[in-house]
């Protein structure tokens, strides 16, 4: 009986999952491009922590056009394509500019000869991009978020749509969740969410004390569960949900928001 119930449940879940895939609207290229560029930029920051934390000045690669060129290489690797999204698209252009601006805002820290851990990790970079991008007055919001109880910075907390989208992504193992008639602060909005894969690098802060580089080469009795950024580690595993990128497009005039 239990076996039959399990089978019925599985069939019902698969049906719901398929109906999700079949009935969902397709996101516009622009909204997909933004989410992919944002994800690729986080990966670039992720894989260049050594350069970021170095105490020398040879860091031209992190600024201006060189940063954008490196981002393009990362994008190409990540999505296995030679075609980078249209730089003349209003939203793409503004996003790339926001990235150059954020890197420049952090230049003093990045070039600091004495600070060996700058704290310029992907989540910090991503948040600063979100903040810059929101202030450009284009009717777009970009956020790296997670389930509310898994958020470290309250400004990254999911809203109700994002909470629901994460639930669906986890439940049906969706590669994306998109609505073209969603709401953002009570105005019409296109909303897209894509999951972010958990990686070993995430676990250096969010994993178990065993993953914490501070504990490497130390006896277990001396291990700390505080990560290098000062937060208590959450004991996440590689199989856990790594968070999600949320993109929202809306008409600024409908929101009546000044920027």
Give min distance, CB of 104 to other proteins, in A. Answer: 4
> Toward other proteins, which CB reaches closer, 128 or 190?
128
Measure CA 100 to chain center.
18
Minimum gap (Å) between residue 108 Cβ and other proteins: 5
Q: Measured from the CB of residue 111, what is the shortest distance to other proteins in angstroms?
A: 6
The residues that bridge with 195 in the sheet, in sequence order, are: 244
Closer CB to other proteins, 135 or 148, in the complex: 135
Q: Least Å distance between CB 179 and other proteins?
A: 26
Q: Which is nearest to 86 in space by CA: 99, 61, 94?
A: 94
Q: Which of 25, 244, 41 is nearest to 133 (CA)?
A: 41
- The nearer residue to other proteins, 101 or 176, going by C-beta atoms, is 101
Which residues form the interface with other proteins (CB under 8 A)? Answer: 63-64, 97-98, 100-101, 103-105, 107-109, 111-112, 114-115, 117-120, 124, 127-128, 131-132, 135-137, 152-155, 226, 229-232, 258-259
Strand pairing class (140-145; 244-250): antiparallel
Q: Which is nearer to other proteins, 111 or 201 (CB)?
A: 111
Task: Report, in Å, the least distance between residue 237 CB and other proteins.
Answer: 22
CA atoms within 13 A on the CB side of 99: 29
Task: Give the angle 236-237-243 at the CA atoms, nearest 5°.
Answer: 65
Residue whose CB is less far from other proteins, 136 or 150: 136
């Amino acid at each position: 009986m239990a076996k039959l119930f399990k089978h019925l449940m599985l069939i019902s879940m698969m049906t719901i999952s398929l109906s999700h895939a079949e009935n969902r609207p397709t996101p516009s290229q622009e909204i997909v491009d933004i989410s992919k560029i944002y994800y690729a930029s986080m990966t670039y920051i992720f894989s260049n922590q050594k350069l970021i934390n170095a105490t020398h000045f040879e860091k031209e690669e992190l600024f201006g056009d060189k940063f954008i060129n490196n981002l393009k290489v990362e994008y190409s690797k990540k999505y296995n394509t030679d075609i980078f999204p249209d730089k003349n698209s209003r939203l793409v252009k503004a996003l790339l500019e926001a990235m150059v601006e954020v890197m420049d805002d952090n230049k003093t820290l990045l070039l600091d000869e004495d600070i060996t851990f700058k704290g310029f990790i992907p989540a910090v970079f991503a948040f600063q991009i979100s903040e810059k991008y929101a202030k450009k007055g284009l009717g777009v919001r970009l956020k790296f978020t997670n389930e509310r109880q898994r958020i470290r910075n309250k400004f990254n907390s999911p809203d109700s749509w994002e909470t629901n989208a994460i639930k669906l992504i986890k439940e049906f193992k969706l590669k994306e969740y998109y609505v073209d008639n969603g709401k953002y602060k009570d105005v019409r909005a296109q909303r897209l969410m894509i999951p972010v894969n958990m990686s070993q690098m995430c676990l250096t802060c969010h994993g178990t004390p065993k993953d914490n580089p501070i504990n490497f080469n130390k006896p277990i009795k001396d291990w700390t569960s505080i990560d290098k950024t000062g937060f208590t580690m959450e004991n996440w595993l590689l199989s856990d949900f790594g968070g999600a990128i949320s993109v929202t497009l809306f008409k600024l005039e409908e929101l009546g928001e000044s920027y």
